[in-house]
Amino acid sequence: MGIRVGAVPFTVVSHVLAIAASFLVLVWCIHYRGGLAFEATNKSLIFNIHPVLMLIGFIILGGEAIISYKAFPLSKEVKKVVHLTLHFFALILGIVGVYAAFKYHNESSIANLYSLHSWIGIGVICLYGIQWIFGFVLFFYPGGVAAVRAESLPWHVFFGLFVHILAIATAILGFLEKLTFLETGGLSKYGSEAFLVNFTAIVTVLFGGFIVLTAVSPAPVADDFSYSAI
């Protein structure tokens, strides 16, 4: 007889990893990189907004939105509003994070969209926006007919997880790109800052993994939830 593991333990680990990743990226950008600013003579401070908003605002908040159906003891309708709201703010903060990267490049006379990280990142933001609009129109307002919702729901869940995994992969590419920059700038790949960046990347991957585990695990109350994102 198999052991049926519910979603609750995975949601707890996801929250812990979210806090850890948030702390690490803030330590990196504030302690090692000098802080955050939209306007500064030191243009690196503008760039620092990018990893903070993309990780905390986009990936972590987006991940919390995915597991919101299984993380909160609320009614299904309330969970739907929480799910859509968290995804909306994740999208907005992701857009601001992308803007910060473009602003940094433009003010530093650096070419835009020269890396695989940037190409996939733009694609992820676009797919995320499309996914949110699709979910809002079909499952919230004005809402599709029951048969269409039932048929579309598995695809909505699949693409939601796919975009989240793609966002994690994009973040790892970004960390790798920054490590390469640090190395060419004379910082040893085995220095404390590089160690912190690598550890942040590992925690981010673990967070993404536990988000997926939570999404595919049985809900605490069977009649209150069918899929991870509707």
Is the model more confident about 8 or about 220?
Answer: 8
Residue 12 has pLDDT above 80, yes or no: yes
Which residue shows structure tokens 């070419």?
Answer: 111
Which residue shows structure tokens 């504030």?
Answer: 30
Structural domains of the chain ordered from first start: 8-224 (1.20.120.1770)
Angle at 70 between CA 65 and CA 72, to 5 degrees: 80
Which residue shows structure tokens 């990018």?
Answer: 50
The pLDDT value given to residue 4 = 53
pTM of the model: 0.90
The 3-state DSSP class for residue 226 equals coil
Per DSSP, helices labelled H in the chain are: 8-26, 44-52, 61-66, 68-71, 76-107, 116-135, 146-184, 192-216
The CA R_g of the chain, rounded to the nearest whole Å, is 19
Which residue shows structure tokens 């695989």?
Answer: 116
Report the candidate in 112, 117, 103, 118 with the shortest Cα–Cα distance to residue 43: 103
SS3 letters for 72-122?
CCCCHHHHHHHHHHHHHHHHHHHHHHHHHHHHHHHHCCCCCCCCHHHHHHH
Q: What is the pLDDT of residues 81-126, one digit of tens each?
A: 999 999 999 999 999 999 999 999 999 999 999 999 999 999 999 9
| Percent of the chain whose pLDDT exceeds 90 | 75
Half-sphere exposure (Cβ direction) of 220: Cα atoms closer than 13 Å: 14
